[in-house]
Structures are given as structure tokens and as C-alpha cells.
Amino acid sequence: MKSLVRVVSCLIVGVVFLATQSSALIISWDVAGHGTPADPTLAASTYNQGDIANVPTLARVGLAGTATANAFNSNNSWNNTATFIEGNHYVDFFVTADGSPIVLQSLGYAVQLSASAPNQLTWGFSINGGAFTTTTVTMTSASPSSLTTWTFGDTPTVASGQSVEFRMWVWGTTSASGVAGNATSNGTGRIANVSDGDLVLNYSVIPEPSTITLIGLGLVGLLGFVRRRQA
């Protein structure tokens, strides 16, 4: 009987620990079969309605859609200056946490630029209208063969009912073909097709305290029952 008590005690600790750990989940877009004609917007192909209150949807601000098979393609007009402009010329999507907070983990993306497009690619996110956290890479016009991953090191958290906005900017004076001063605003930048997920946001969910409490109380009750049987 003592061994059973030990087993149940370990089970309580283990289950409560697992309950407090958030499971890995994704929001993803698959652009295969899209792009001709150009999609004005593109809803995520995968997301969990139990965690997310809205349908995450790609949209354009200050840009136009360009027909390209198996892509979400944009041009007219990217920012072809040497100054990063946050408030215009971008592709974006919003995610609103529903019920429990969500923890942002990483963003995987397959982006291709035309030879004349600016070669600076910046991704950023803003939680509940706050300052943007950004990352910038220098691109070529080569077709991607896999996702590039941006990992968020400080585990940013979106509280229940709050939203996070992600933006993709293409900017700069050097073209993706590598020619300084040759970038044009009408070059194209697209989410390209490389796999089942061409743009993937990885996140996790923090369980509600009430859920953890109920699990704990149930297991404690089980332990009490075992101890009474032992007595």
C-alpha cells in the first residue's frame, strides 16, 4: 500500500507539472493553389479556434497584390529608400488570444524577392499596440527551399483578449540582385510555396489557473482516498 501511495504522490506532482507546461501549437499558411488571381487577403489554413479568437489573415497595407501561382505576392509599392518606415508598405496579420494567454515562440517563413525588389527583409511583432520587436535579414532573389526561422528568446506573452500584430517589410536601396541603388518599389515580395506550411507561427498556451487547481484537487482527493484505504 505504501508503494501505491508513493505512486499516486508522484502522479500528482507529474500531472500538475505537465498541466502548467504549455503545449506546442501552430498557426500556418499554405499558399499552394493560391495566387492566380492574386488573393486580396489570405486566411490561415491551420489554427486552433480554442486558443485564437479570430481567423489570422494575411493582408497588405500600402501594397498591391500581384498574380503569381502558389504565392501571396505583393508589390506597388515597397519602400525603396534607405530609411526603414514602420507605418506603411507591409504585409501583416493579427492573432488574438482567447481564454488563456499564449506564449510566442518562433516564426518560420519562406519569402522570395524579385531581382529588382529591395533586399532588406524585416519581420516584427507588436503586442497590444506596443513597440515593435523586429529582426532584419539581407535577401537575394533566390527561391527558398525551406523555412527561415526567427526564434523569440524572451518568451513574449499575449494575455487573454489581447492581440499581437505581425508585419513583414521589404525595404532598402540595394536590389535583391545585389546592385546598390537599383531597388525599385515595384519589385515583388512573396510568401512562397516550400511545404505544407509556408508561414508558420509557433506558440504555446498557458493553462488557466482554475484548470490547474481542479487537476490538483482531484489528484489530492485520490491520494486521500488511498490513504484512508490504507488506514
- Mean of pLDDT values over 201-208: 89
pLDDT at 8 over 90: no
Q: What is the pTM of this model?
A: 0.82
Note whether 55 and 43 are within 8 A (CB).
yes
pLDDT tens-digit series, residues 23-36 = 689 999 999 999 99
- Mean of pLDDT values over 37-55: 97
CA triplet 112, 31, 101: central angle to 5 degrees? 100
Return the C-alpha cell found at 113.
524577392
- Considering only residues 216 and 44, tell me which one the structure prediction assigns the higher pLDDT: 44
pLDDT at 229 over 80: no
Q: Beta partners for 92?
A: 59, 167
Note whether 152 and 104 are within 8 A (CB).
yes
- Mean of pLDDT values over 139-168: 96
- Considering only residues 225 and 208, tell me which one the structure prediction assigns the higher pLDDT: 208
Q: Which run of H or of E encompasses 53? A: none
Half-sphere exposure of residue 204: CA atoms within 13 angstroms, side-chain side: 14
Residue with cell 508522484: 10
Note whether 76 and 184 are within 8 A (CB).
no
Dihedral sign computed on CA atoms, order 152, 96, 199, 188? negative
Strands (E), 99-231: 102-109, 111-113, 118-127, 133-138, 148-151, 157-158, 163-175, 189-192, 199-205
The per-residue pLDDT for 196 is 84
The per-residue pLDDT for 22 is 57
The per-residue pLDDT for 207 is 81
pLDDT at 7 over 80: no
The per-residue pLDDT for 213 is 38
pLDDT tens-digit series, residues 126-139 = 999 999 999 999 99
CA 79 – CA 118 distance, rounded (Å): 8
CA 189 – CA 167 distance, rounded (Å): 13
- Mean of pLDDT values over 134-154: 96
Among the ranges given (2-11, 46-55, 168-177, 195-204), the one the predictor scored with the smallest mean pLDDT: 2-11
The per-residue pLDDT for 218 is 45
| Residue 156 burial by Cβ neighbours in a 10 Å radius (0-12, 13-18, 19+) | middle
Q: What DSSP character marks residue 142?
A: P
The per-residue pLDDT for 84 is 98
- Considering only residues 79 and 210, tell me which one the structure prediction assigns the higher pLDDT: 79
Q: Which of these, 59, 52, 7, lies nearest to 27 by C-alpha position?
A: 52
pLDDT tens-digit series, residues 158-198 = 999 999 999 999 999 999 999 999 999 999 999 999 988 99
User: Which alpha helices (H) appear in the chain, and where do they start and end?
Assistant: 2-20, 209-230
pLDDT-above-70 percentage for the chain: 80
